[in-house]
Amino acid sequence: MHQIQHGRFAELDGATVFALARLRQTIFVVEQECAYPDLDEHDTHPDTTHFWIGAAGEAIACLRLLRDGERWRIGRVCCAVDSRGRGLPGSLMAAAIESVGPEAEIVLDSQIYAAGFYRHYGFAEDGPEYVEDGIPHVPMLRTGKEQCESGAPGPGAPLS
């Protein structure tokens, strides 16, 4: 079992920031062939918490959680290719939800293929599909009042 780590940008050392940025670049820019500025002002915001799972000095799965007005926002959920199918993003989702409490409203923008994964954690589509950087997305919302499909959030739902 891998340990979930978390911290705000100011608490992260250079090696951790590099590992998180490298993983996100590998998935979102290289694998998905989408040149866009993945690193943004939200990464360094004092209210943003980065969650990750690492092995041998590398990040193998990560996400970020930040304030979005009265709600929370989850984004940048990804997992290294050779670590997929082990439920790591699900473990991170459960940890992020737990950190803000089960009643908190959380939003995210899901790539269409991943919407089913987020439904396992109580998210539902909350608007029309749209295309961002050439990739179809759908906005999703978790009000904290719905029952998750699998009961309490857990690590069993892999992001494929």
d(CA 12, CA 67): 19
Which amino acid makes up residue 117? F
pLDDT tens, position by position, 59-94:
999 999 999 999 999 999 999 999 999 999 999 999
In this prediction, residue 53 carries a pLDDT of 96
Structure tokens of 83? Answer: 């670590």
pLDDT at 37: 74
- Is the residue at 47 inside a domain? yes
Domain that holds residue 50: 4-142
Q: Model-level pTM?
A: 0.85
Task: Determine, yes or no, domain membership for 24.
Answer: yes
Look at residue 15 and tell me if it is in a domain.
yes
Q: Cα separation of 25 and 19, whole Å?
A: 10
For 67-96, give the DSSP string.
EETTEEEEEEEEE-GGGTTSSHHHHHHHHH
Give the integer Cα–Cα distance in Å for 117 and 150.
Answer: 11
- Do the domain assignments include residue 148? no
Please report whether residue 69 resides in a domain. Answer: yes
Do 71 and 32 meet the contact criterion of CB atoms below 8 Å apart? no
Residue 147 lies in a domain: no
